[in-house]
Structure 1
Amino acid sequence: MSTMLENTISPLAEKLIRKFEERTAVIGVVGLGYVGLPLAVEKAKAGFQVIGFDVQSDKVDMVNKGINYIGDVLNEDLLSTVKAKKLNATADYSFIHHVDAVAICVPTPLDKYHQPDTSYVSSSAREIANHLKPGMLVVLESTTYPGTTEELVKPILEESGLKCGVDFFLAYSPERVDPGNKHYNTKNTPKVVGGVTTECARVAATMYQTVLEGEIHVVSSPAVAEMEKIYENTFRHINIALANEMAVLCNKMGIDVWEVIDAAKTKPYGFMPFYPGPGLGGHCIPIDPFYLTWKAREYNYHTRLIELAGEINNAMPEFVVNRVMKILNQERKSLSGSTILILGVAYKKDIDDYRESPVLSIISHLESQGATCIVVDPNIPVFKHEGNKKETVRLTDEVLEQSDIVLLTTEHTAFDYQLISEKAKIIFDTRDGMKDKEKIQGKYYRL
C-alpha cells in the first residue's frame, strides 16, 4: 500500500481499523448496480457482514434470493454469500445505523443540459446523515467532479451534528469497473483513496486493503482522487475521438484505418492503440468528461479538447448511417425500404449493458430514413428504445438472407461468424470483428 499517512491515530480510528483487520466490521453499500453489487459481494467474500441498500425493490429481492443480474459477478459467489448470511439487501435506510462503514455507489448521470445530476449522491448522503454515528466511515465511489466529496457530501453529513475527521471519517475512492474484462475486476484492480484528513484516508485504505488484492494507492485529498478518475476516462474519450477522426479521414482517402493502427502499434514506445467504432457507450466515457467541463466553468476555463472530442464521438452514429446509405446506393438500393440487420446493441463486446449505446442512435437515424431494423444480441433479449421495449431476435439463416445489409456494431464472441460469412449479402463491420474474412462470400466493408 502506497502511503501518505500519519503515524498518530485517534481512538475512534484505531477501533474501526481493528474491526476491519479482524473482519468484525459491518459494511454497507448504497446502490446495488454495476459498481455496488460486485463491491458488496467481494466484501462479503472477504468475511465481512454486508448490507446492501437500494431504492429498487426488484434488485433488493433478487439479491436476497441469490439471483444475480450483473455480468461481472459470478452467480455462485452471490448465492454462496447470501446463503452464508454474509450479504443481505434492503430498501430500509434505517439499517445504516448498524454499519461501521458505508460506500456510496449510485449513478451520476448528466441532465438534458449536459450538467451533472448529483441528486442520487445527495439523497444517499442525507439518508446516511440521518443514521450517522460516531466512528463511522463513509466512502463515495461514484464518478463525479472534483470537489464533490468535500463540497457536497461533507456538509450534508455534518448536518447530523458530527464533525468530519473528528467524529466520523470521509473519503473518496473511485470505482474502476471494466465490464467484460476477463483479467481485471473489482478484486484485483488497484484502488485509489483520498481522505478528507490523513486519518480518514488511513481508515478507508485499511478497509479496502482487507477486501481487495490490488494495490491501495493513497493520495493527498478527495479532490485528487476525483480528478484522477475523470482524467482516466477523459484520456480514453479523447484518444477514441482521435481514432474515430482518423477513421473518417481514412475512409475519404481510401485508406484502411485498421491497417494503419496495426502498423502504428508495432512501435514499442510512445504509442498506445485506440480503435474507432460506431460511437461511445456506457455510463462512464461518454458522460464523465463533461463533469470536468462543467466544473471548469467555475474557474473561467473552457475545456476545448474535451468538448471537441465529444463532438467527434457523438457524430459517429450518423457517419455509420451515411456509410450504410452509400453502400446500399452502390448496390442500387435506397436506405428507405431496406432491411438492416444490426448485430449487437450492447455498447461493448460480451456484456449485457446498453446504457448510452451508440447503437440506439444508429437505430433512430436508420428508422427516420425509412429503414427497417432487426436487432440480434445474444446478451440482451429486450431493450428500451425511445420509450418503447424492443425484442432482439435469434441469428438464423432466414434472418440473414432477408436482410439487405448486416451491420456489425458489437463484436460479441457468441455470434456465429461462419454463418454470417456464408449467408450475409453485404456486411458493414464497424468493429473489425469479423473472423476469417477470407471466407466471407458476400461483399464486405469496414469502418
Structure 2
Amino acid sequence: MPADLAVIGLGHLGLPLAQAAVTAGIDTVGYDPDPRPYAELRAGRSPVEGALTASEVRRMLSGGFRPTTDAAELGRVRTAVICSPTPLGPDRTVDLTALGDAARALASRLRPHTTVLLESAVPPGTTETFLRPLLEEGSGLVAGRDFHLACSPGRLDPGNRTRTLANTPKVIGGLTPACTESAAAFYGRLTDKVVRARGPREAEMTKVLETNFRHVNIALVNEMAVLCHDLGVDFWDVIRCAETKPFGFQPFRPGPGVGGHGVPVDPGCPPHGGRASGHPLRMVSLAQEINDRMPSYVIQRCATLLNEHGKSVRGARVLLLGVTYKPDTADQEAAPAREIATRLMDMGAQIGFHDPHVLDWRVRERPVPRADSLYEAAAAADLTVLLQQHRTYDLQGLAVKAQLLLDTRGATPAGAAHRL
C-alpha cells in the first residue's frame, strides 16, 4: 500500500518523527532492516528506551503507522527521511555504515520527484559527497533534477515534553533552492517554524556547532568543579551567582560524565577517508578528553570518601542512584553510570542501583541488583552516589538516611552531602 512518508531508521530520531507525522495525518511507513524494532512496535512497545511510551506507540499504530522490514515499501512514497544511527567508531570518527546501508536500500527503489531528507547527525559534506553518490548510482536519477535532496539534522531533546518537534525550529539545507522548498513544504506540516540554510553543508555544520557547544561548555564547568574542590570553593554557589548575570553567560552544570545521542564531532577528521579540512577543532578534542576523565574522577572521590571514613572500596557496598543520561527519562545512551559501575566492580565493590525509570540494568551482561526500598538501601550502603537527579528523588530525605552520600549533580541542599 503506498504511503506519503517513509521514515528509515526507527531509533531515537525516527520514532518521534514518525509519531509527529502520524499525528499530522500523514500516511507513514517506518522501515528498519533490524527485525527487533519491527517486532517491538507490532507488540505495542517502543524499541528505544525513553523514546515513546507504550500508549504513544499504540496510538501511532491505530493512526495507521506501519513498521516494516520490507525495503520494497520505500519505492511507494513521496518523501523519505533517513534517520539512521551515526555513532562514533573506535577511531572517534563518525561511522556512516548504517547510513550507507539505508541509502542503498532506498536508491534501488527511488522514483522521480521523491524528496529525500537526511536527519542523521553527520560531518559537513556527507549529504553531497557520501549520500548523493549512493542515491544517484543506485537509482540512475540525478539529485536536484530528478529528485529532491536536503539535510535537516534532528533537534530532539528526549524526555522533554515542553520542547517537541512541533515547536522546535527545523533547519533545512537543500542541494538546490527547489530541494530546500520541497523539504520546507514537508516539514511545514510538522513544525511551527522552518529555517532555511544556504545549503546542506551549512545545515550539517549547524548540528556540529550545537553539539560541540554543549560538550565544550560542560567540559569547562567539569574542569572548574575539580579545581574548586581542590581549592575548597563551593562551585555550585559560584554557578548560582554567575547565572544572575543577565547577559553574556549561560549556565552549564558539572556531572559524572557526558551522555546522550549528540556526540562531539571534529569536522577536520572526516569519516571514510574523506578530505580533511586541515584545521581540526582542538577545543573539541580537549573538551572530550576532559569529559572522558569525569568517571575516573568520580571513582577517585568515592575511594577518598570511603577511606576518610575508615573503609576500603574493596568489599564496600555502593548504591548508584540514577543510571540514565538525563533526568526523568529511561534513556541510557552513553550514560557514565555503566563505566563508573564497571570500575567500582573492578576495585572489589559490591554494586547496587536504583532508578525509577529503569527496572533492569546490566553491566558486562550481568544484572545489577536493584534496590526495592530506596531509603533502606541507602541506609545499608557504605556509600550512595547520586549520578542522575530524577524528579522523584527526595534528596533531603536521602541525605538523612544515607551513611555517606556523594552528589555528582549538586542537587542536594547545601551541606547535606559531599558534592562533586
What is the CA-CA distance between 1:72 and the residue it aligns to? Answer: 4.5
1:226 partnered with 2:204: yes
Q: Is the 8 A contact 1:172 1:195 kept in 2?
A: yes
SS of 2:188's equivalent in the other structure is helix
1:171 partnered with 2:150: yes
Q: Is the 8 A contact 1:344 1:376 kept in 2?
A: yes
Please, which of 138, 144, 152 is the counterpart of residue 116 of structure 2?
138
Aligned residue type for 2:419: R
Using the size of structure 2 for normalisation, the TM-score is: 0.94
- Residue 150 of structure 1 aligns with which residue? 128
Q: Is the 8 A contact 2:387 2:407 kept in 1?
A: yes
Change (3 A) 1:387 1:147: farther
What is the CA-CA distance between 1:328 and the residue it aligns to? Answer: 1.2
For 1:110 and 1:384, how far apart are their aligned partners in 2?
Answer: 22
Please, which of 85, 95, 103 is the counterpart of residue 125 of structure 1?
103
1:189 partnered with 2:165: no
Provide structure 2 residue ranges, at least 5 long, that are not aligned to the other structure: none
For 2:372 and 2:59, how far apart are their aligned partners in 1?
Answer: 33
Using the size of structure 1 for normalisation, the TM-score is: 0.89
What is the CA-CA distance between 1:432 and the residue it aligns to? Answer: 1.6
Residue range with higher mean Cα deviation, 120-129 or 107-116: 107-116
- Residue 63 of structure 2 aligns with which residue? 84
For 2:359 and 2:304, how far apart are their aligned partners in 1?
Answer: 30
Equivalent residues in 2 for 1:353-368, closer than 5 Å: 353-368=331-346
Change (3 A) 1:385 1:291: farther
Q: Is the 8 A contact 1:51 1:88 kept in 2?
A: yes
Q: Is the 8 A contact 1:115 1:291 kept in 2?
A: no
SS of 2:5's equivalent in the other structure is strand
Percent identity between the two aligned chains: 37
1:209 partnered with 2:188: yes
Q: Is the 8 A contact 1:46 1:210 kept in 2?
A: yes
Please, which of 389, 399, 407 is the counterpart of residue 421 of structure 1?
399
- Residue 9 of structure 1 aligns with which residue? none
The CA deviation string for residues 29-86 of structure 1, in whole angstroms up to 9 with x for no partner, is: 011111101100111111110000112323213323443455353544432332232x
Equivalent residues in 2 for 1:63-74, closer than 5 Å: 63-69=41-47, 71-73=50-52
Change (3 A) 1:416 1:262: closer
- Residue 179 of structure 2 aligns with which residue? 200
For 1:360 and 1:112, how far apart are their aligned partners in 2?
Answer: 18
Aligned residue type for 1:204: A
SS of 2:149's equivalent in the other structure is strand
**Paired residues, what number?**
415
What is the CA-CA distance between 1:418 and the residue it aligns to? Answer: 5.1
- Residue 298 of structure 2 aligns with which residue? 320
- Residue 446 of structure 1 aligns with which residue? 419
- Residue 8 of structure 2 aligns with which residue? 30
For 2:196 and 2:107, how far apart are their aligned partners in 1?
Answer: 25
Change (3 A) 1:151 1:418: same
1:59 partnered with 2:37: yes
Provide structure 1 residue ranges, at least 5 long, that are not aligned to the other structure: 1-23
What is the CA-CA distance between 1:291 and the residue it aligns to? Answer: 5.4
Residue range with higher mean Cα deviation, 265-274 or 384-393: 384-393
What is the CA-CA distance between 1:413 and the residue it aligns to? Answer: 1.3
Aligned residue type for 1:313: N
Q: Is the 8 A contact 2:267 2:277 kept in 1?
A: no
